[in-house]
Amino acid sequence: MPYTSDDKLATVPPPPPPPPQYPRPNVKVRSTPLSQHFHTPTPKSNGPAPTGPYLFYGSLLDPCMLVEILGLETEPELRPAYLEGFACKLWGQYPALVEVPGSVVEGAVYNVQTVADAQKLADYETRNYTLVARDIRYSDGKSPAQQTGHVFLFDGNPKDLSEGTFDLRVWLKQVGRQEALDKLDARKLGKRVSATDDV
């Protein structure tokens, strides 16, 4: 029997099923600028990453990001705080803390419970950030008002930094994290409503 083009069409497998409607976004370790490939960051300690309070000032201010990185069951509560003697610059789209006397950086604190979680955060931050212990001051009026905690400082090539500010809302929009942006907006709206409930 002769071979026809209809026979060929009959043997083609069906297309794969469509992807899930709301796939869970993959958290990727950030990429570095090309110039950074020629700078060797300071070697990090081989000891275990410390637990306790961590001050976040960039993408980790998004509780949804912490859920994904740490594999948490629920979104964590972050406590508003600030760090004196530091300023924020930009390393590409990411914030980078540098020491600047008299300056203040605002952020939020998450209490890291396990060494495994601390290591996941260190891996997310890459070798261009180093974890240091610093005095953190809380801005929510609760106790304790001050505590020694940890913060990731930029440890890459200072020439790669530029002036600018990090805006979590803008960043979430740029990287396509609309669900996290919607949750962030809902939390802010909820705080405004609860602050005016007594009026």
Q: Residue 151's pLDDT is what?
A: 96
Say if CB 61 and CB 79 are below 8 A apart. no
> Distance (Å, rounded) from C-alpha 105 to C-alpha 98?
10
Query: Which ranges of the chain have pLDDT less than 70?
Result: 1-46, 187-199
Q: Residue 49's pLDDT is what?
A: 87
pTM: 0.70
Closest residue by Cα to residue 176 from 19, 23, 18, 31: 23
- What's the start-to-end Cα distance of the chain, in Å? 87
What is the DSSP code string of 91-110?
ETTEEEEEEEEEEEEEEEEE
> Distance (Å, rounded) from C-alpha 40 to C-alpha 159?
13
Q: Which two structure tokens, joined as six digits, stand for 40?
A: 């060797």
Q: Residue 182's pLDDT is what?
A: 82
Q: Residue 130's pLDDT is what?
A: 92
Q: Residue 25's pLDDT is what?
A: 55
Closest residue by Cα to residue 57 from 122, 100, 105: 105
Which domains are delineated in the chain?
52-181 (3.10.490.10)
Closest residue by Cα to residue 72 from 126, 127, 120: 120
Helix (H, G, I), strand (E, B) or coil at 65: helix
- Per residue in 109-167, pLDDT tens? 999 999 999 999 999 988 889 999 999 999 999 999 999 999 999 998 889 999 988 88
Q: Residue 186's pLDDT is what?
A: 75
Q: Residue 16's pLDDT is what?
A: 62
Cis peptide before 144 (omega within 30 of 0): yes
Q: Residue 64's pLDDT is what?
A: 86
Beta partners for residue 89, in sequence order: 96
Q: For residue 15, give the DSSP letter.
A: P
Tokens 């508003």, residue located: 80
For 99, 138, 163, the CA distances from 30, given in Å and listed in that order, are 23, 29, 19
